Chains A and B, each alone.
Chain A
Amino acid sequence: MIVAEQKPLPEIIEMVSPFKKLLILGCGTCVKTCFAGGEEEVAVLASILRLDARHKGKDIQITELTIERQCENEFIQEASEAVSANDAVLSLACGAGVQDIARRFKNTPVLPGLNTTFVGVMESRGLFTEECLCCGDCRLGMTGGVCVLARCAKKLSNGPCGGSRNGKCEVNPEIDCAWQLVIDRMTCLGTLDSLRQYCPPRDWRSSNSAGPRKLLREDMVI
């Protein structure tokens, strides 16, 4: 899923300060799962912003709404009425969702309430880990299902650096050394020998290094 976290409240408060009527728009997919932008987070943020406005003697009217996804037009339509009834939208979606909302509603300012952090998994309740950089050229088959691009601090393609210690990364002892995970897994699978093979430099054109990417599915175009 796309993992995000709420922006610091002072930043949000500053951003929304010019507006009297604010729609806080939640997204019910990825960011809900990571406790950043679902109904509950919308409600909490709305309450805080109302308390803040009252504390400062200001007026604010907040509408709370959460739609299934902010990155799909079908669902975005459901927000039309609420958007037009407000001065601005504080979107609790990932960066893609915020942009999609902004694109659909040209005359309403759309503000980001979250910082989109990474594509990852919930390793255990409340703990999220980055697992994918969306490089566009998946080599997981060669590294035992562990992405060394996303999970090695030096993006090494040919084995661990000298800083791997007790299975942990030198950059942060809380983080597993990705190469240790690769080696453990491939030892388990009996395919460790294949790591002897040289892995050539990446062709970054598949990543966003060659500019923003588009994907066209002819068969889906109507």
Chain B
Amino acid sequence: MSGEYVSKLEKKLSSGGFAVTAELGPPRGANENVIAEKAKLLSCWVDGVNITDNQTAIVRMSSIAACVHVLEAGLEPIMQMVTRDRNRIALQSDLLGAYSLGIRNILCLSGDHHVFGSQPDALGVFDVDSIQLLRIVDEMRRSGRDMSGYQLDTPPRMFVGAAANPFADPFDYRVIRLAKKIDAGARFIQTQCIYNLERFRGWMSRLCQEGLTEKVYILGGVTPLKSAGMAKYMAQKVAGMDIPEAVIRRMEGVPREKAAREGVKIALETIHELQTIAGVRGVHIMAIENEQAVGALVEEARLMKIPGCLEGE
């Protein structure tokens, strides 16, 4: 049976487990030790690690290379792939390369727009969009063909995921868009950070009504806030982020030195809530440059610990 699953993450989700994934940002440089260090912090606590692809449009070590370092550290990578920087030829070529290097999970994204990055003068490629990329990857897995219809020798068979933002506008269309992603081949969904649980519940119940939760594993996004300032910044500046006033007030209501702890508390409460929502099959913890918080959070939430795993090894 195990042969049916291309990755441990797929296996865990398929067998009904509550999955935990985290995010790891590759360095702005060629130092693989940075990744090894971050991977150590995560190693016992997650089923998979998303490796971002030049997130916020800032040049970093490539997602593929960083995935390989993560594999060497004994963790299972989820390669993020954005359509911002590569055309369809490069994307497909990198899919073949990534698979040959042992990468088995992929998250298909359009990517943060490059005007926000360190090189806003770059050309944004956007030859295909994230839904079209999903279909490209799915087609390779199902029929073994590339976009031209060519039968590949050893086609990549990847566990394919997509992102969803339950909080972005237009709200009504968000469900249609998720359905399109599922049609295009998405098997798991990692959501935007959840602070507005009420709105998230509303979105989930719509998915349940439409029968979408039967077709896809939803992993709720969680980011522990570090300070009231971070909460306000994210609320105002980060597109598609919904942080209710109450959460900001709560962060402001504690002394500065206890703010990070309060952020973790909020994250813990969110995780517990998410576990009770029908259709939620895991959490995706995004704590970039705060990787040590992930293990603590997972342990405290009693989500999982990889059996026999010794931290820091």
Q: Do chains A and B touch in the complex (CB under 8 A)?
A: yes
**Residues of A in contact with B (beta carbons under 8 Å apart):** 153-167, 170-171, 177, 179-180, 183-184, 192, 195-196, 198-202, 204
Known: A159-B176, A196-B176, A198-B184. A165 touches B113 (CB 8 A): no
Interchain nearest-CB distance for A18 vs B (Å):
30
Number of A-B contacts (CB under 8 A): 101
Q: Are A164 and B169 in contact (CB under 8 A)?
A: yes
| Contact of B169 with A159 in the complex, beta carbons under 8 Å | no
CB distance from A26 to the nearest CB of B (A): 32
Q: Assess the B168–A164 pair: CB atoms within 8 A.
A: yes
Check if B215 is an interface residue, CB within 8 A of chain A: no
Cβ contacts under 8 Å, A163 to chain B: 113, 168, 239-240
**CB-CB contacts below 8 Å: B159-213 with A:** 163-165, 168-170, 172-173, 176-177, 179-180, 183-184, 192
- The 8 Å CB contact of A198, one of B128, B135, B147, B168, is B135
Is B165's CB under 8 angstroms from A162's CB?
yes
CB-nearest residue of chain B to A184:
B170
Please tell me if the beta carbons of A170 and B176 are within 8 angstroms of each other in the complex: no
Instruction: Classify chain B's interface size.
Output: 20 to 34
C-alpha gap A159/B178 in the complex (Å) = 10
**Is residue B55 contacting chain A, with contact meaning CB distance below 8 A?**
no
Q: Report A-chain residues with C-beta under 8 Å of the C-beta of B239.
A: 162-165, 170
Contact call A160/B129, Cβ cutoff below 8 A: no
Cβ-based interface call for B306 (8 A): no
B8 on the interface (CB 8 Å rule)? no
A158 touches B180 (CB 8 A): yes
Select one of A157, A195, A200 contacting B176, CB under 8 A.
A195
Contact among A155, A156, A171 with B115 in the assembled complex (CB-CB below 8 Å) = A171
Contact call B177/A158, Cβ cutoff below 8 A: yes
Contact B113 A170 (CB under 8 A): yes
Contact B183 A198 (CB under 8 A): yes
CB-defined interface of B30-57 with A at 8 Å, one 1/0 digit per residue? 0000000000000000000000000000
Can you list 30 contacts pairing A with B, beta carbon distance less than 8 Å?
Answer: A153-B113, A154-B110, A154-B124, A154-B126, A156-B126, A157-B131, A158-B131, A158-B177, A158-B180, A160-B168, A160-B169, A160-B173, A160-B177, A162-B163, A163-B239, A163-B240, A164-B168, A164-B170, A165-B168, A165-B169, A165-B239, A166-B169, A171-B115, A179-B173, A180-B169, A183-B173, A192-B176, A198-B135, A198-B183, A200-B132
CA distance A47 to B116 in the complex (A): 41
Contacts of B163 in A (CB 8 A): 162
A155 to B192, CA, bound (A): 21
Q: How far is the CB of A190 from chain B (nearest CB, A)?
A: 14
CA A195 to CA B164, docked complex, whole Å: 17
Q: How far is the CA of A158 from the CA of B176 in the complex (A)?
A: 10
Whether, in the assembled complex, B84 has its beta carbon less than 8 Å from a beta carbon of chain A, the answer is yes
Output the least CB separation between A198 and chain B (Å): 6
The chain A residue sitting closest to B240, CB to CB, is: A162
CB distance from B211 to the nearest CB of A (A): 14
Is B240 in contact with A159, judged by CB distance below 8 angstroms? Answer: no
Q: A159-B177, A201-B128 are in contact. List 17 more A-B contacts (CB 8 A).
A: A155-B129, A156-B110, A157-B132, A158-B184, A160-B173, A161-B110, A162-B239, A162-B240, A164-B240, A167-B169, A167-B170, A196-B176, A198-B131, A198-B135, A198-B184, A202-B127, A204-B127
CA distance A204 to B125 in the complex (A): 12
* Chain A residues with CB under 8 A of B176: 159, 192, 195-196
What residues of A have a CB within 8 angstroms of the CB of B265 in the complex? none
Shortest Cβ gap from A35 to chain B (Å): 27
A154 touches B84 (CB 8 A): yes
- Assess whether A201 is in contact with B88, with CB atoms less than 8 Å apart: yes
Question: How far is B100's CA from A125's CA once the two chains are assembled, in angstroms?
Answer: 57
Query: Roughly how many angstroms separate A171 CA and B110 CA in the complex, as a whole number?
Result: 14
The CA of A159 and the CA of B182, in the complex, are separated in Å by: 14
Closest chain A CB from B48 CB (angstroms): 21
Q: Is the CB of A162 within 8 A of B183?
A: no
Interface string of B271-302 (1 = CB under 8 A from A): 00000000000000000000000000000000
Interchain CA distance A191-B103 in the complex, whole Å: 41
Residues of A within 8 A of B111 (CB): 154
Closest to A196 in B: B176
- Chain B residues positioned under 8 Å from A204 (CB to CB): 127
Contact in complex: B168, A162 (CB < 8 Å) = yes
Contact B126 A159 (CB under 8 A): no
Closest to B165 in A: A162
Is A165 a contact partner of B240 (Cβ separation < 8 A)? yes
Most chain A CB neighbours (cut-off 10 Å) among B111, B126, B129, B147: B129
A146 to chain B, nearest CB (A): 13
Q: Of A159, A162, A180, A192, which contacts B180 at CB under 8 A?
A: A159
For B83, give the chain A residue with the smallest CB separation: A154
For B164, list chain A residues within 8 Å (CB): 162
Interface flags for B101-137 (1: CB within 8 Å of A; 0: not) read 0000000001101011000000010111111100100
